[in-house]
Structures are given as C-alpha cells and as structure tokens.
Amino acid sequence: MRALARLAVTTLMVAAPVAAVTVATTANAAGDPAPITVLTSDFEDGTSQGWTGRSAETIASSTAVAHGGTRSLAISGRTAAWQGPSHDVLGTFEKGTAYTISAWVRMESGSDSARLSVERRTGEVAAYDQVVGNTAVISGGWTNLTGRYTLATDVDFLRIYVETASTTGSFYLDDVTASYVPSLPIQTDIPAVKDVVPEFPVGAAITGAEIIGDHGSLLKRHFTSVTPGNALKWDATEPTENTFSYAQADPLIAFAETNGLAIRGHTLVWHNQTPSWVFTGADGQPMTATAEDKELLLARLENHIRNVAGHYGSDIGVWDVVNEVIDENQADGLRRSTWYTVAGLDYIRTAFRVAREVLPDAKLFINDYNTNVPAKRDKLYNLVAQLRAEGVPIDGVGHQMHINVSWPSIAETEAMIEKFAPLGVEQQVTEMDVSIYTNSSETFPAPPADRLLQQAYVYRDMFALFREHASEITSVTLWGLADDNTWLDTFPVTRKDAPLLFDTRLQAKPAYWGVADPSKIGTSPSPSVSSSPSSSPSSSPSAGSSTCAVTYRVTGSWPGGFQGDVKVANTGTAAISGWKLAWRFAGGQQVAQLWNGSVAQSGADVTVTNASWNGAIAPGGTASFGFLGSATGGNPAPAAFALNGTNCAVL
Ligand code: XIL
C-alpha cells in the first residue's frame, strides 16, 4: 500500500519556525491530566486585560460582538496589516514548556486571514515565531486560532500577538487562553536505545527546544546522533544573499558536541525551504535555462556550500549534500526543480565537488524518500552509479523512510538495501518515522492502541532488518524525538500523528519496546505467561486498611477491543520489592498484549507480575503498565485489585 507515500511538496519555500517548536494541533496523549491555564482573556470586565496595540491602533473592550459572554476586544484604526493586539507573556511562558494558545478572531466587516505569533527579543535581536498560520477570518462568525509554542531560548521580551494577512480592517479578539500539560519525568529505568542497538549510531532530528530540559535529557539518554531538522536548511542559513546565519543551528551543534553526539548535516541543496532570491536572475526575473542564469545559480550554490559546510568544518561528519532530486515519473528520473531546469545535472555535480573540496573527510550523501519503491529506487541507483562512474564523490545513499504502519513490507525494504550494496556506498536511514495513518483521510483524536501495536511491530521488524544489514547501514535516524513534535502533525494533512518511539509526554511507547525489547510486545495472546494467579481479590476491598491504591483506566476502545492503563501506588510505609497484581474481569475481557509487566490469565482471573525494572516500589512510589484487551459487549472495570494478596484501594 502506497497511500501515504510522501507527496511531493511543490512550494518553493516553507517557512520554518525559528528556534521554537510550533505545531498546529493540540491533541495530547490519552489519559493526560487537565492542562494548567496560565493566561485567560475574556474581556468581560470591560478592560483590555493587559492587551495593547503593537503600534498606535485602538484597542478597547467592546459589546458589539462576543464569542462568549457579552464582550470582546475591538481592534480598530489599524494602518498596517501587522498591527494588532499583543500581550506580554514574559515571566508567564517558561523555556522548554509547550504552551497551547487558543484565540477567537472575527472581522468587523469583510474578510481576511489572521495569524497568531510570538515576538521574542534577546538584547537587540528580535525574532517572530509563527504559532498559527494564516487562517480565514470573516465578519459573520468567529474563527479559532490554536497552536502550540515552546520557547527555546533565553529572552528579555516575549509577547503573543494577532495580525492579519492583507487588510487593515478592524477586527475583534475574544476568549484567549494559554495552557500547558504538566510534563512527566523521563523514564530512567528503561534501556537506552543506543545500548540495545550497538551496531550503528541511532539519531533523532531536533529543533531548538529539544535540547532543553526533559527533551534534552531524553535525547542524550537514548541517542548517539542528531540531525538539525530545519536549522541547516538554506532558508535558515542564508536567508538573504551572502548573509549567513547560524543562530538556529549553533546551539544544536554545541549541544551535540558537548554530549558527544554525531551530527548529520541536513541539507545543502533542496528545492524546498530555499529562499526565492536563489532562483532570481540578475534581471530580477525567475531564472530560466540560460547560460547566464546557470552560471549565477552554480556560483550561489558554491558560495553557499563553502560557507555553510566551512562554518562547521569537521564538526559535521556526514552531510546530505542534495535532497530529493529524484522523480521516478521522469524518463531520466530527475526532478524538474528549478535547480534542474536551470543547471541540469551540473547542480548535483557542483554540490558534491564543492562539498568534497571543503570537507575532504566528511561522508557526502544523496538523500531521498520512497527509496524502497522499486521505480524510484532504480532511478536513484542509476543516477548514483552514473555520477560515481564520472568521479562525483558520493559516499552514501540516504533512505528517508517516512513510512506508515502498513507500508512498506520488510521484503521491499530489504530489496532496497540489497539494491545499493553492490555500488559500495554507505547507506543510512535518515528520517525514519512510522505514521499511524495509512491514508490521507484517516484521523484519530488519540492514537488507537491497535495502531500503536502495529507500529511497534514495524519498528521491531525494521530495526531487526537494519541490524542484520549493519555492514551496509551505517546509521539510523528518526525524524523527531517524541510525538509532541512531529512534522506529520501537519503533513500531508493537519491531524495529530504519533510516529516516534516516545509519546507526547516523552514516555516509552510500544514502538520503543519494539526496538528495545520485542518480547514486551509479543505476537501471541499471552506473551510471557507466569504462574497462575496467586490470589484473586475479594470484591469488596477495604480501602481504609490497604497499603496500595490502583488506578485503572481505559484509554482507548474500538469495536471488540480496548487499551488499558494501570497504575499501582504503594500507599504503605514499607518498600515493595516484586509484585503481583490480581483482578477479575467480569465482562469476559481478555488481555491480548501487555507491556511493562507480564501477564497470566485464567478465565476471568488476571495476574500481572512486575517487569525486571519496575518491581521495586518505594513508599509513595508507583509502577505502571499498559495492555491491550479484547472485549465483546460491555467492558466493566474490575471492581477490586489485590497486590501480593492484599486488597488495594481503587481510585
Ligand atoms: C520537514 C521539517 O521536519 C518540517 O519542520 C518543515 O516544516 C518541513 O520539512 N523530508 C526532508 C526533511 O528531507 O527536510 C523534511 O523536514 C521532511 C521530509
């Protein structure tokens, strides 16, 4: 099935957030606690509640229209589209915390598009991070703008603001909130991915905020390589001609160096995220296939590579020199990007030649998506074979591997690796993620457990394949650290995806266990059966005398099945070392798979025994496990639980 094969992004330039993480959706993992609200503006008290204009426009509480209650904030007298209401969040937003910002906007008359952003300043340097992009706004009703924002740098000025795209029309703002879900500490009692996969570096793509706090700790703990996800692209490094900026990339590179992580440089030449000036001729017109334009384009390319690759020198050991140059639908297999239409194959030759001159020791890669698809794979193979025969210094082929839970097959992926092996190139998996969606029309409010399990099997099988082929595969990088920040939240459509090893709260998913310890996700209904239940709880536990408390939650359900999450708390004063939790399913439910513990079920009686790493529960501490179950008809929660034979309070 190829339904979710990467769609070509045809825009020339995609704006990348600057040193901040923004995604357009707000969904959190099922079972998350209630968000904590740090800003609420409803304007019901008749004041502007701290909102001021960005310039000399008029800001006032109004009763003309209201999203909730009877008042909103009216913004009028604007003389430029960037003017609009703004509110201080310095001291409110903490670095490294992901805030969900929601605002309602309505035009006074006519229509426009509105967007929500954050302006931050450090010293004299200002930056503007878009949180919600242009969204149609009308006068006949309210439009919601919701997005997420994580501050990644130290600032001395921080304000959120709303502006419009084109007109200076008056508009209204109402019911603004900013909130966050409290983070969980990362798990330190589970194996590090880098330790369970010793054959090659395992990496993650990162953006600014992912080197901070718990994200930084998770990154260091599990990974041995990083790829700046946007910070080294042309729009970030050379936004205007011959003016180079490393403000986004330098902190990421410094973090990698401090922590001994390898760095994949991504990417020197691409058709996306490349400013339009690159393709504008000396006459101010879009470049065409003239000798003059070709010369100028290749000169710009050479200058760019000399500067960017030269800036980091040997600190970056691997570069994706060119990205996504193949189009299997062309007879010659070459994407008709402006690079190609102006310069032909010479842009690729020039890029590798210059990169080699600047970096004699770096590994130089050609990187692409859908390289498992035979038609594309073969065109890429032919190009690499041809260029290497010419002496173009291509050291490696990068397989992006943006895949999904049902595509591609292991056999096709293995054929991909085997295809390139005779070329004598290195191969790296450069951008792996496994979407929970199998086509562009699916959307789930929270990841269904069966998809998460399917995903775990994909990770298990793909990593097993890569490890078997460790003589060809020299690195595997995931395109993101955890599900709270993935590009798939907005590609190919906007919906919450969950394609990585850690969930939105940085906790290990079944996918993680697929890589770290596949025995935890099993393939049979009872993966690791221990002895039969030691004791079944009585149906009326006495909470008063208990030394344990159990929280049992169904976090997702679908016809015939459900996912459960169980937390066991030690409410006594003695440490627990090793535990068995027993309960009875009254509705005929069966546990199919269980993680972070092992399960035995006999009829209605279920016993879960701790895993090796969560057997000790200090007084006041907890242990958790999750499972998938089948349920036909009702799915009543167990009425009672016994821990090591003693009844627990049920919360
Ligand atoms: C993506 C980034 O992750 C996004 O933040 C950005 O908006 C678009 O680009 N193939 C690539 C990567 O080679 O550079 C892309 O990264 C994902 C697809």
Contact indicator for 334, 325 with CB cutoff of 8 Å:
yes
CA-closest candidate to residue 488, choices 436, 452, 556: 436
The phi, psi pair for 434, rounded to 5°, reads: -125, 100
- Mean pLDDT per 10-residue interval, the chain, length 651 residues: 39 35 39 84 98 96 97 98 98 93 97 97 92 95 94 94 97 97 91 98 96 96 98 98 97 98 98 98 98 98 98 98 98 98 98 98 98 98 98 98 97 98 98 97 92 96 98 98 95 95 96 96 43 40 62 78 86 90 92 88 93 84 86 86 89 83
498 Cβ partners below 8 Å, 6+ apart?
29, 436, 447, 452, 455, 483, 486, 504, 509
Integer Cα distance of 421 and 427 in angstroms: 8
Class of domain 2-180: mainly beta
- CA-proximal residue: ligand 1, atom 16 (nearest): 229
- CA-proximal residue: ligand 1, atom 3 (nearest): 487
Calculated CA dihedral for residues 380, 385, 386, 392, nearest 10 degrees: 100
CA of 340 to the centre of ligand 1 (A): 20
The CA-CA-CA angle for residues 456, 458, 459, to 5°, reads 65
CA of 537 to the centre of ligand 1 (A): 52
Give the type of residue at 241. Answer: E
Contact indicator for 12, 276 with CB cutoff of 8 Å:
yes
What pLDDT score does 31 carry?
56
User: Based on the number of CB atoms within 10 Å of its own CB, is 215 exposed (0-12), middle (13-18) or buried (19 or more)?
Assistant: buried
CA of 131 to the centre of ligand 1 (A): 17
CA of 323 to the centre of ligand 1 (A): 11
Integer Cα distance of 605 and 591 in angstroms: 10
Q: How far is CA 337 from CA 2, 236, 340, 348, in A?
A: 23, 20, 5, 12
Long-range Cβ contacts of 491-497 (<8 Å, 24+ apart)? 491/9, 492/4, 492/6, 492/7, 492/440, 493/440, 493/443, 494/24, 494/25, 495/25, 495/437, 495/442, 495/443, 495/444, 496/25, 496/27, 496/443, 496/444, 496/445, 496/446, 496/447, 497/435, 497/436, 497/437
Residues in the ligand 1 pocket, defined by CB under 6 Å: 14, 16, 229-230, 323, 400, 431, 487
Contact indicator for 300, 278 with CB cutoff of 8 Å:
yes
Q: What letter does residue 493 receive in the DSSP assignment?
A: S
Q: Where are the alpha helices (DSSP H) in 275-405?
A: 291-312, 338-343, 346-358, 374-390
Q: Where are the alpha helices (DSSP H) in 151-222?
A: 193-196, 213-222
Given the DSSP bridges, would you call strands 111-122 and 157-164 parallel, antiparallel or unpaired?
A: antiparallel
CA-closest candidate to residue 152, choices 177, 127, 174: 127
Q: Which atom of ligand 1 is nearest to the CA of 490?
A: 7
Other CB atoms within a 10 A radius of the CB of residue 424 amount to: 9
- CA-proximal residue: ligand 1, atom 17 (nearest): 487
For ligand 1, mutation pick of 13, 479, 483, 484 (most atoms within 8 Å of CB): 479
Long-range Cβ contacts of 606-613 (<8 Å, 24+ apart)? 606/533, 606/582, 607/530, 607/531, 607/532, 607/533, 607/534, 607/580, 607/581, 607/582, 608/566, 608/580, 608/581, 608/582, 609/530, 609/579, 609/580, 610/578, 610/579, 610/580, 611/520, 613/189, 613/190
CA-closest candidate to residue 469, choices 226, 199, 262: 199
For ligand 1, mutation pick of 227, 235, 431 (most atoms within 8 Å of CB): 431
CA of 245 to the centre of ligand 1 (A): 19
Task: Give the tokens for residue 382.
Answer: 């032919």
Q: Which atom of ligand 1 is nearest to the CA of 205?
A: 3
What pLDDT score does 524 carry?
29
Q: Which atom of ligand 1 is nearest to the CA of 324?
A: 13
Integer Cα distance of 341 and 287 in angstroms: 9
pTM of the full predicted structure?
Answer: 0.75
For ligand 1, mutation pick of 131, 150, 264, 272 (most atoms within 8 Å of CB): 272
Give the type of residue at 216. Answer: G
CA of 523 to the centre of ligand 1 (A): 34
Integer Cα distance of 13 and 524 in angstroms: 48
Q: Which atom of ligand 1 is nearest to the CA of 430?
A: 13
Q: Where are the alpha helices (DSSP H) in 147-222?
A: 193-196, 213-222
CATH architecture, domain defined by 548-650: Sandwich (2.60)
Other CB atoms within a 10 A radius of the CB of residue 577 amount to: 10
Q: Which atom of ligand 1 is nearest to the CA of 270?
A: 13
Q: Which atom of ligand 1 is nearest to the CA of 15?
A: 7
Task: Give the tokens for residue 351.
Answer: 């890029």
Task: Give the tokens for residue 172.
Answer: 């209204």
Task: Give the tokens for residue 568.
Answer: 């066991």
* Residues annotated as part of the active site: 324, 431
Integer Cα distance of 521 and 454 in angstroms: 10
CA of 230 to the centre of ligand 1 (A): 7
For ligand 1, mutation pick of 4, 230, 337, 371 (most atoms within 8 Å of CB): 230
Calculated CA dihedral for residues 291, 293, 296, 302, nearest 10 degrees: -80
Integer Cα distance of 343 and 291 in angstroms: 9
Going from N- to C-terminal start, the domains of the chain cover: 2-180, 548-650
Contact indicator for 596, 624 with CB cutoff of 8 Å:
yes
C-alpha 200: how far from chain center: 22
CA of 345 to the centre of ligand 1 (A): 23
